[in-house]
Chains A and B, each alone.
Chain A
């Protein structure tokens, strides 16, 4: 039974002891080429085998939640960009979704389509950058990243046309989006998604049969499904283990019910499944994008009665979540009727996906730790907020 605390294998903090002199303590990070940001792991090794792994967080703790309590609801929107800074637009949507739930605001149809298009484009950039970074972790330093960023730049150009900024878009508002699509934008995106399929084909051809990739990622870091669900793991990591749980299907938000797309599932949940599932998810995103661009209606980009100044949601609380590229991104807001939230909480998928990092790494080599960390796909802005 999982209710027995000794069943989960997180070892207690090791203190220097009698038989301790054969173990090697290594501090991986916070400045390290493969830790995806300022993340530190205190690893204790017996030879090359990991005996204990304790992550240390907080090196990028930027007090987002405290700043949000002293700011209005709308002025927290740019800060949500900087949470998971590789996918700013989906963070914006998650926050707008939570506030709309809190205050009961409706979103017009065209705005919903715009949101889906930007969110799926964001999923593409996230998974493409993930592919580049994890191949860098495996030693292909910079080569795959060059390809990934080449495609990413194309999508960032499209975002710059729409929102004015490459990365920190600050695009969603409560009740819709900040501005309408510029002329010709939908055509540009259409050309982009047509060109993305061949890029994915090229990448898959290079990667799927790659001996080093197969050898380093297969059967590395797998855990049983029940342990993953109990650990709060969500997103591609959970689906790689075969659990069919994608918030776009389970609790559809926006207009995802209108689109036809499948949820790819893995078998074993090892690092190889996690990498390949993201390729499949990118293809599903391309399907959604194609349908969204084709069905894009005319209309308002924001609810005509959306209140921008002096926005005071009614007293209450709401928790809303979306399927972000890294997992379940949720916002929990408590309103006391004033312009500032009483409590603003981000449910960070990267942070909670790291709960089982030690369990995945115990008994493996130090080199596998880097691959496993890469396959969890963390971003420190979200882990530490």
Chain B
């Protein structure tokens, strides 16, 4: 809900600060995201470097990395998600309480990355859990992770808490848990969560150039 900027400036000059509940709550939430301590592979090292003195994620409020998913509200999936690890990632996601956000950091978490032809590699964590921000790179520099974090903060700041287009966590009917995949004989079952993963259907002529 936007306040009329002229009115806001007018009142501010008289020492009265006007805001809406939405702005206030979103500001509080985005300024103190607590990530889950969850590094899978190489991107985890850059994530750790982003929390260290040179890049310092603490100034964004995201310093406190909680080991337990019950206490975290941001899951930075940093590294390749293998099919063996995928059910655990989904279970961790389910254990986080709403509101929760997911950043897919690195090419592997977005789409499988350089290991895309692997038989044990899940081709993107967005097949099973909804992802808010994707940070490309292999590995993305710590500064890129900070940019991704700032993008997420902007996204949270724009969230609506009431109305038809409200955020998932503001909707009491909204599903907070996603189904956990099982280990099959040759692959995970199901291979993707069709309610979340809907790749664009590309119509290409058969036999023509791709």
Contacts and interface: CB of A to CB of B under 8 A. Distances in A.
A61 interface: yes
Contacts of B157: none
A88 to B, nearest CB: 9
B115 A62 contact: yes
A87 to B, nearest CB: 11
Interface stretch (B41-49, B126-134, B173-181): B41-49
A166 B41 contact: no
Contact of A145 (B46, B48, B82, B120): B48
Interface size class of chain B, counting residues whose CB lies under 8 Å from the partner chain: 35 or more
Interface in B36-77: 36-42, 44-46, 48-49, 51-54, 67, 69
Contacts of A85: 41-42, 45
Interface of B: 36-42, 44-46, 48-49, 51-54, 67, 69, 79-80, 82, 84-85, 88, 92, 114-115, 117-121, 138-139, 141
A53 interface: no
Given A66-B119, A78-B114, A149-B48, A60 B138 contact: no
Nearest to A75: B114
Nearest to B49: A149
Interface string A31-71: 11100011000000000000000000011111110110010
A292 B115 CA distance: 36
Interface in A118-147: 142, 145-146
Contacts, number: 96
A60 B114 contact: no
Interface size class of chain A, counting residues whose CB lies under 8 Å from the partner chain: 20 to 34
Interface of A is mostly: loop
B42 A153 contact: no
Interface of B is mostly: loop
Given A62-B115, A62-B121, A167-B45, A33 B40 contact: no
B44 A31 contact: no
A354 interface: no
B97 to A, nearest CB: 16
16 contacts: A31-B37, A31-B67, A33-B37, A58-B84, A60-B79, A60-B80, A61-B82, A62-B41, A62-B115, A63-B117, A64-B115, A78-B114, A149-B53, A149-B54, A152-B49, A166-B46
Contacts of B84: 58-59, 61
A82 interface: yes
Interface string A65-96: 01100100000001100100110000000000
A63 B118 contact: yes
A63 B53 CA distance: 35
